[in-house]
Structure 1
């Protein structure tokens, strides 16, 4: 793996970014790590958790640590696409229309409670995520790089929400479930809450982060690991292939090819975070639930039997033979 100009391994900068963010955020190590994985692999994250778990604060602190811009959009039923992407505004003095860019023109965008806005607003945001550009009138505007969308959902309250269609959810690289902190972590959280807020310093800048994204693309992935991710996706469509035919009645639709693609992309970023220039099976296994859970469409029978996507995926992972890739030094 390449080294930076100051002779340190690239992961040194990533570790410093995480350290800086953890001055503000207590716990949530998995969320912070997934945010960095998504940022390095040019993906987006859907986060599900109850209110008050520092989801907004985590994204804001990360934006400050990478020296990028941060915008937050609170999704509500009366939101329209122009509130997200921008619109043309008529200026009476000049007699001309001028473009007013929306909050998506940033580095880190928090789409808070994305399922509270109707489908047309969700589609406007997800189009930006896929195309990295916005067309207003006859002009096309590129989104700043790097660009990460973190969307949140509240798993408790369903009144007044618009569930994201499966085709839209599929465009998120990962869905991360955020739980409550441990008693020890919560004690530290309260201690920090009553003390002056720490200042988060910029450790890298967007240009340096783009260079790191390019380095992640050079991380080696053995063909056996690519085959493993494909077999995992296929096993969710037909569990009988791995001897789990009894699960077939619980799955209406398995994971799409985006799942296997994103699993490999995320595993490369995870290997980079761990200081390696090659992917291990453990990288794929560690990220599999986050990459796959939102891509399974469960049947009504699964809902009635209280069977979750994580339970199905865990059984499939255990049943799937583990590949033996070529050693990094022998390739």
Structure 2
């Protein structure tokens, strides 16, 4: 994979808190080429290049990028996992997300077919999973205000956010990414977990599948850790797994919700210390006297509710400010 591809799309557009270091990725790719498993489809890095209408061929450049693999989903089959899926800024709005999801789907189907042929199994590709930012996630107003736009795109793609639901009907987050930052200074990172069924008329994803996919997800990141390079390691994988296990104990059922209707960051912050911390840091919140929050503060329900209320109000103000700025330029 050309370094320019990573520079153009991956490094440029992927949040630093979520991006596996490029040297770790290339080391893993080299290892898979050496052991002959680079074509089995269980791990893939895909790039689509092209030109805009009217441009000459010498203007060809990376358009879209996908990285991921297949994860076991229990006895019924597997799911494809798009760890990272992005379209270059200037090519957005032309259906490239659907094109790349098609590539991911085709690659994963080939991987399942090859495994069935090799092992005699009879697994099927149940669908695709990936991670998205909840509404209101981002360290700038621009990033936060874009999350509803992105969620609407995922709505149209036929995706659903996977949420836990307890006996009282309360929704719970289900997922976290391990710390993949080079310096290991981010900690567990909550993200919405999204499922897109292979058959839109057969939308089923229960807790058993969630638990199986979650284990497969940990194994996926263990491949990065095995390189011994910067970023994710066995300790960060175990930390995120422990956080997920605690979440999973809160509920027995799973609900699938359209991304545009899924809980916002501040909604989930009311019941979760990790998300409250992320929200407070994104919005630059502190105690009323200006004192910074400490780790134990996020376990206080009153403080979490205060953070949630102020973040929701802050987001609404950002939305109004953006509308006023747009109207002023008309």
TM-score normalised to structure 2 length: 0.28
Higher strand share: 2
Higher RCO, 1 or 2 (CA under 8 Å, sep at least 6)? 1
